[in-house]
Chains A and B, each alone.
Chain A
Amino acid sequence: MSALLAEVPYWGQSLLRVLGGIVAVLLPAGTIVYIFLFKMMSFMQSRLGPMEAGPYGSMQLFAEVGKWLQKEDIVPERADARIFKMAPVIVLLSTFLLVAVVPFGPDAWFTDFETGIFYALAVSSISVLGILIAGWSSANKYSLLGGLRAAGQLIAYELPMVLAVVGVVIQAETMNLQKIVVAQNSGSMFGIDTFGHPYVISQFIGFVIFMIAIQAELTQAPFDMPIAESELVSGYMTEYSGFRFLIFFIGEFATAGVFAMIASVLFLGGWGVPFSWFGWTSIDSIDNWMNVVGPLIMFTKMMLLVFIIMWIRFSYPRLREDQLQRFAWKGLIPVALLNIAVTSILKVVF
């Protein structure tokens, strides 16, 4: 965004960045909820889903938001009111901090952080804090259990996620997300540079581990033990109503979108197309229209990855708490460590 906004004063740039961030968080969240949660789930269950509001039910989301906004904002009598109100904001804050490093085009980025992916992993862990205190401050046993389960799960699956990313960082030789995109699109496989070198091929194990970890970090089924409606009512969200529940809801799907964007940057080549198609050599020689097409490519890849997440969510039954922990600690983490060892050996050899 730096080159695009060179003539705009600093306050204007900041304003545009904030607006861009809101769009980059809310637009994917809304699209994901309508296309996957409302429509795809309905089709998988042989029903039509919402059809009344707008053509083909496309305005249903606005109706839902309106419904939530006019509901009473209830705080339980025994709850710790201040912290109870703060918790959903912390969860959403982590999403907004996360989107700040995602690059959308050669010049279309919010911040060009040198340690971008490291930052993303750090701020994504802030949401655990919000979930924990939401569960605690509700003064409800179901909420507390949900919060504790969520924290245990998020800690367990953060580790394989970080380790899966390390493989990509070793291959790209950088933690900057923009440079990871360039490295994939200007690379070549076996001397053929027609497809660039998306890391989903050479880091396939890392990709699978990362996607499983995302699924768990987002507490989507089969990893929805923290919410488990048949045993915990609604986990840490039980006592929330009205717009505070809405914030949790937006946070859940916005984070799904942002994580999918990060996964597409790390493994699918992000906003880019293979540079050899148009004869680009470096990031500076990319034509300006990529700043418009790039975000669209990014959005397509994001939808593809979210489709996989939701497909699994609607297909598999819930894992038990001990299975869930065992899978992370005894399955994913050793495989991820092995992946790092093999990647670094191959990196040094070739």
Chain B
Amino acid sequence: MIAQNIGFWIIAVLMVVSALRVVTTNNVVHAALWLVVVLAGAAGQYILLAAEFVAITQVLVYIGAVMVLFLFGTMLTRARIGAESDLNNSYKKLGIPVALVMLVAMGLALTRSFGDEKLPESAKVVSTQEVSDQIFGPYLLPFWALSFVLLAAVVGAIVLARKD
């Protein structure tokens, strides 16, 4: 067992425990902070896969922007200190099967497509240049499509927020 594997299992267990705490904790802000741990764990896993650009993007986008906005929003509207009793609602019954189906589907997809394939022990760090060559080369069209979706979302947000 190489060091990366040990690191993987430690982070993976931490992520699963935190993910469970996200849905079981009885305080909105605590749930958001547990989610931060999950996302940071994902960034750690990317680093173990020698994908540093993706790992840093994960931190910048999810922890630095998405979670901050999330916390900002909850604190601005409702975020009491201490336990809240009305956090669980009837969608819980629907959510559990959906989560299980997702788990099975993603697990199958991963094992079917990679199987026993192993990463080389001294994995090469994927340079940013390679990532950008891929994005602006073969994946240019999906990149444009994503940019267009984001632009549409921005315009939509402005339209919703405008008073006049």
Contacts and interface: CB of A to CB of B under 8 A. Distances in A.
Interface stretch (B15-23, B73-81, B106-114, B136-144): B73-81
A35 to B, nearest CB: 31
A155 B65 contact: yes
A122 B64 contact: yes
B127 interface: yes
A204 B128 CA distance: 26
Nearest to B128: A115
Contacts of A83: 29-30, 33
Given A125-B68, A136-B29, A113 B60 contact: no
Contact of B56 (A115, A137, A144, A154): A115
Contacts of A321: none
A236 to B, nearest CB: 11
B65 A129 contact: no
A125 B64 contact: yes
A158 B59 CA distance: 14
Chain B interface SS verdict (over half):
helix
Contacts of A175: 128
A326 to B, nearest CB: 15
Contacts of A63: none
A114 B128 contact: yes
A133 B69 CA distance: 12
Chain A interface SS verdict (over half):
helix
A100 B79 CA distance: 35
A124 to B, nearest CB: 8
Interface residues of A, number: 31
B151 to A, nearest CB: 14
Interface in B55-106: 56-57, 59-60, 63-65, 67-69, 71-72, 75-76, 79, 81-82
Contact of B52 (A79, A80, A114, A155): A114
B53 interface: yes
Contact of B53 (A118, A128, A152): A118
15 contacts: A78-B81, A79-B81, A115-B53, A118-B53, A118-B56, A126-B59, A128-B64, A129-B36, A129-B68, A132-B72, A133-B71, A147-B75, A148-B76, A151-B68, A155-B68
Interface of A: 78-80, 83, 113-115, 118-119, 121-123, 125-126, 128-129, 132-133, 135-137, 139, 144, 147-148, 151-152, 154-155, 158, 175
